[in-house]
Amino acid sequence: MSGGALAVRGSGAAPGPLLLLLPLLLPPRARARMHHLLLKDDVRQKVHLNTFGFFKDGFMSVNVSSLSVRNEESVGKDSIGFSLDRTKNDGFSSYLDEDMDYCILKRSLSPSASITLLILDFSQNTVKMKSPPEAGTQLPKIIFTNAKVYQDLSDPKDPLVNNQTHEKQDSGRSMRSTEDLQTSAEQTYSVYRNKGAISFQFSFNISTDDQEGLYSLYFHKCPERDKQKSDQRFPFSLDIEITEKNPDSYLSAGEIPLPKLYVSMALFFFLSGTIWIHILRQRRNDVFKIHWLMAALPFTKSLSLVFHAIDYHYISSQGFPIEGWAVVYYITHLLKGALLFITIALIGTGWAFIKHILSDKDKKIFMMVIPLQVLANVAYIIIESTEEGTTDYGLWKDSLFLVDLLCCGAILFPVVWSIRHLQEASATDGKAAINLAKLKLFRHYYVLIVCYIYFTRIIAILLKLAVPFQWKWLYQLLDEMATLVFFVLTGYKFRPASDNPYLQLSQEDDDLEMEAVVTTSGVMENMKKVKKVTNGSVEARSEWESTA
């Protein structure tokens, strides 16, 4: 059974029932650029530890304080190690997992690959650094702290128990200079070993423009080719700390503009909310309750963006967020998400505009959407507060994507039902022209929702994968701009106005209800409604004729 946990210094284990509330109470350490990942008895073959975009003069520091394997005798040669992969964007990697038996540690590297491998040898207590010779200056030089390199790379002798023993056994070996290390494709370094766990430290600096890019750090545990051994899944435990920093920010290259971006978009949402309030005050006679609910949405969105910007500001300046600001952001984010889907569903059902109560069918939609939204926000918060390398991260990430799509699909049902109702009414009701106008409006709104979902959930994500690493903030910009446009168009289509076809149904339903009351009252029991024909035309007014 694999397991992973985010180690937070000074924090104890939380009781089981509080696990869902824990992300709301703890600072989001995962988005801090000082990571501490602790894995216990993990059996995964590949663990994505982290991805970070570096500009020139940025650096990464990695401290593997403890790495151990339960059944060390089952570990073969070149079976455990790390890979550092450099790409220009999220969409493409320099190597692909072709099948489950594929292991980058045991394959010869392509000359065009921008990969550095760190292959561990538990029997010799060494780590071999390997990279394509053709890479040259395209990859940064990795520096090992307090480690020595062997002159004879092919056959390091005498297993080492710790650094002190290594210094005694290796005192007569000649050491390579720093210049020689840069030109060699492979170097072997000693590692520290204590009670079966090895530890070592390494770091690198981005010294040239050619070395800029998106760097991903992976941990690999390769299965043995022998079938008997391949069935034995040997668990490993890993305690690792990672620190990343660009010249002036702890944020990744594509995230540096985000604080200013979020503040700017918050101003636009606040401005749109203010304009909407002004419209409601001018059209008080045509305002419904749903209009005030729509007014709360841009202000909640604006607050969420402000707190998000503050959260990123502290991450940028000190490498980790302030707990209070992070919690406030999560609360406003949850309220914004729930309010958005509830408002769309209420507009689609015609609540307050057409009817003052929800039907049983409508209530089922809300009983579905609201729990899904809560689950989606919980998944988002857990993702933001969990290290990428934990086993829970992938599960919650997939759950968030699935639940979000279910929410988006569920809010389309009320609009579809309204369209079907108006289509039936247009065929049977005498007010065909008005119903057709309402039908056209609902169809436009349906297309608007589909375009919004399609753009923010698919197009923007594809753009995020395609753009260079330093332009990843364009994904957030397009997502926020699409949301703003969706808010504005929704407000325009369902604005409080006497000539809005969406609002006319309520008035006509009132007339029909009043007519039903009059015709069924005891006073008018012997009366019937007739139309007077004058000069071959039907007058607009109606008269009542006694049938007594």
Predicted confidence at residue 280, as pLDDT, reads: 92
Distance CA 177, CA 162 (A): 23
What CA–CA distance (Å, rounded) separates 38 from 15?
Answer: 19
CB 4 within 8 A of CB 42: yes
Q: Which two tokens stand for residue 202?
A: 């390494």
Check residue 398 and give its pLDDT: 82
Which two structure tokens, joined as six digits, stand for 215? 């760097």
DSSP strand pairing (533-534 vs 142-144): unpaired
pLDDT, one tens digit for every residue, the chain (548 residues): 334 433 333 333 333 333 344 344 443 344 446 788 899 988 888 898 988 999 999 999 999 999 988 876 666 666 889 999 888 877 655 554 444 456 788 777 776 678 888 999 888 888 998 887 766 678 888 888 865 554 333 333 333 333 433 443 343 333 333 333 343 467 888 888 888 889 999 999 999 888 999 999 999 888 665 544 444 567 889 999 999 999 989 999 999 999 999 999 999 999 999 999 999 999 888 888 889 999 999 999 999 999 999 999 999 998 888 888 888 998 998 899 889 988 888 887 777 665 566 777 777 887 888 888 888 888 888 888 777 888 788 788 888 888 888 888 888 888 888 778 777 776 676 566 666 777 777 788 888 998 998 888 888 778 888 888 899 999 999 999 999 999 999 999 888 877 776 666 444 444 433 333 333 434 444 444 444 444 444 444 444 444 43
Pairing of strands 59-69, 527-530: unpaired
Domain boundaries defined on the chain: 35-148+184-245, 257-517
Given CA atoms 427, 432, 434, 436 in this order, what sign does their dihedral have? Answer: positive
Give the helix/strand (H/E) hosting 12: none
pLDDT of amino acid 70:
80
Residue-level pLDDT at 370: 82
Contact 54, 246 (CB under 8 A): yes
Class of domain 257-517 as given by CATH: mainly alpha
What is the model's pTM?
A: 0.75
pLDDT at 225: 57
Q: What angle, rounded to 10 degrees, do the helices at 289-318 and 258-282 form? A: 160
The contacts found for 455-463 with CB under 8 angstroms, 24 or more apart, are 455/482, 456/482, 456/483, 457/404, 457/405, 457/408
Strands 4-6, 59-69: pairing is: unpaired
Between CA 419 and CA 416 the distance in angstroms is 5
The pLDDT of residue 206 is: 93
Residue 466, helix vs strand vs coil: helix
